[in-house]
Amino acid sequence: LDDHCGIIGNIMDLTYEEAKLLPMNEHCDEFVCPKEKVTNALIPTLEEVLYVAKERELMLSLELKGPGTPIPSLLLVEEFGMIENVIFASFHM
């Protein structure tokens, strides 16, 4: 959170409602898109991402970050009928 939002802490300690309110750090150079688009951006839910990806027929690389995320993520991807459009990755087994 420090690099991207200027806040010390771990996003895993926040609720979605709290994470949604995080400010994006305008001094971060890692953003691919123009900073003015990122400054007012909100963190989407996986469901929101899948909705847009399905609508636009996109392929996704989904990196699972926290404990307990694989099964719910897989079920949601299956619910959207996008299992062929998503590559799952994780550093945790």
For the entire predicted model, the pTM comes to 0.72
**Which residue pairs, CB below 8 angstroms and at least 24 apart, start in 70-73?**
73/46
**Over the stretch 57-81, which tens digit does the pLDDT of each residue have?**
999 999 998 788 899 999 999 999 9
Share of the chain above pLDDT 90, in %: 40
Mean pLDDT of 1-23: 75
Model confidence over 27-42: pLDDT tens digits?
556 656 666 666 667 7
Count each helix (H run) and each strand (E run) in the chain, helices first.
5, 2
pLDDT, position 20: 80
Q: Tell me, what's the pLDDT at 38?
A: 66
d(CA 22, CA 7) in angstroms, rounded, equals 9
- Of the two residues 53 and 33, the one the predictor is more confident about is 53
Q: Please, where are the H alpha helices in 26-82?
A: 35-39, 46-55, 70-79
Note the pLDDT of residue 85: 96
